[in-house]
Amino acid sequence: MDQTFYTLSEEPTPSPAPVDPKEARRTFSRVGLALTVLVTVMMVAAYVIQFAVLFTAPRLLDAWWMTWVVSLLPLYAVALPCAYLILRKIPVNPHNTDYVDSYNVLREKTRFGFGHWMILLVMGLGCMYLGNIVGNIIMQILSDAMDYDYANALNEVIESSPTWMVFVGTCICAPIGEELIFRKLLLDRTRGYGEMPAILLSGLLFGLFHGNLFQFFYAFLLGMILAYVYTRSGKIGWCMAFHAAVNFLGSIAVPRLAALLPTDPEAELTLVQALVSLGLSAWMFGLIITAVVLVCSLWHKRKLSRGSLPLEGGRTFGRMLCNPGMMVCVVIMLLLLAVNLIPIRT
């Protein structure tokens, strides 16, 4: 494709000067280093808290709130500030207000509003359920192969915690903290090299960050949609609201309705339970089908910028990953995922 940019009047304008790949590689490596520090410090801080409690008040480890302390405090109070200290030295790429369409014409992005947000939310919910089904199927196959019953730790924590704590953890802390990390801090420093590869990177790292196959697939898909919301709107608030809405429906509203159903699949359902079961099935599969239709019909209308810092020779996504800092980050995340697949037999 011709590298010349065009305005709406089709008058050619100069393309941005290509960036030195070595300079970009150093930027990507520093981003990977920051995320490596994030994951490492988070794990170390969590173990420190657990060992401190173990030797001082071991009975507290069985308290439902201790799981939330170990999950939230190390990440948001310790690890996130450490990662920010590294990332703040990397120049921030401004929000791209224009994009090049399929005809190689430079166009201005239309204003992002509530209607766009709602359409993307429906797509995100459908992708979440689709990814959740894929993750559960793969974990069931692994359970049968390993003769071990893998449990979704997140579901266990949610079921054992009061609703208000689940709301604080999943609808306030997670949307604010995770969107700052994987959208605001990450995309601000990578979208200038091209919004599509930056979106893929954000989704991949967001999925791996969750550390288990139950969540990887839907977190990967949601991460890409959330990254698109940020590159499209330029406002992190839209992403936080999106994340909070998804978590509220997925962690509070729908599970509370599902709790009305009997755990025995062969149990006879009451009229209310039958309606709840039918409604939940229609909700889930309806969203999946709607999301697939929307993605297929609206894909050609995506508004993604090539960025103001194009790399010589292309292969931007590969270069984002193939550098020391990012490779170490990905390896550590994969190792954590693999550790969570080791059966613990008693």
Asked if 266 contacts 250 with a C-beta cutoff of 8 angstroms, the reply is no
Q: For residue 69, what pLDDT band results from cuts at 50, 70 and 90?
A: very high
6 pLDDT higher than 60: no
| SS3 at position 340 | coil
> For the chain, what are the domain ranges?
16-92+113-339
* Alpha carbon distance 199, 317 (integer Å): 10
Question: Using CA of residue 274, residue 279, residue 280, residue 282, what is the dihedral sign?
Answer: positive
Q: How far is CA 340 from CA 146, 160, 325, in A?
A: 13, 20, 23
Q: Report the predicted TM-score, pTM, of the whole model to 2 decimal places.
A: 0.91
| SS3 at position 99 | strand
**For position 12, what pLDDT does the model report?**
45
Q: pLDDT digit string (tens) for 229-252?
A: 999 999 999 999 999 999 999 999
Tokens of 200: 């893929």
Enumerate residues 6+ apart whose C-beta is below 8 A from 296: none
Can you tell me the mean pLDDT for 178-205?
A: 95
7 pLDDT higher than 80: no
Asked if 280 contacts 219 with a C-beta cutoff of 8 angstroms, the reply is no
Tokens of 87: 């990332």
The gap from C-alpha 190 to its chain's centroid, in whole angstroms, comes to: 16
Tokens of 24: 């970009």
Burial degree of 238 (CB within 10 A; 0-12, 13-18, 19+): buried
Q: Which amino acid is at 38?
A: L
Burial degree of 82 (CB within 10 A; 0-12, 13-18, 19+): middle
At residue 9's C-alpha, the angle toward residues 7 and 15, to 5°, is 25
* Alpha carbon distance 113, 118 (integer Å): 9
**For position 343, what pLDDT does the model report?**
86
Tokens of 137: 């199927």
Q: pLDDT digit string (tens) for 86-121?
A: 999 899 988 888 887 666 778 888 899 999 999 999
* Alpha carbon distance 150, 137 (integer Å): 12
The DSSP annotation for 25-93 comes to HHHHHHHHHHHHHHHHHHHHHHHHHHHHHHHH-GGGGGSHHHHHHHHHIIIIIIIHHHHHHHHTTSPPP
* Alpha carbon distance 282, 270 (integer Å): 18
**For position 86, what pLDDT does the model report?**
94
Asked if 121 contacts 242 with a C-beta cutoff of 8 angstroms, the reply is yes
Can you tell me the mean pLDDT for 19-26?
A: 83
Q: pLDDT digit string (tens) for 27-40?
A: 999 999 999 999 99
Can you tell me the mean pLDDT for 248-268?
A: 88
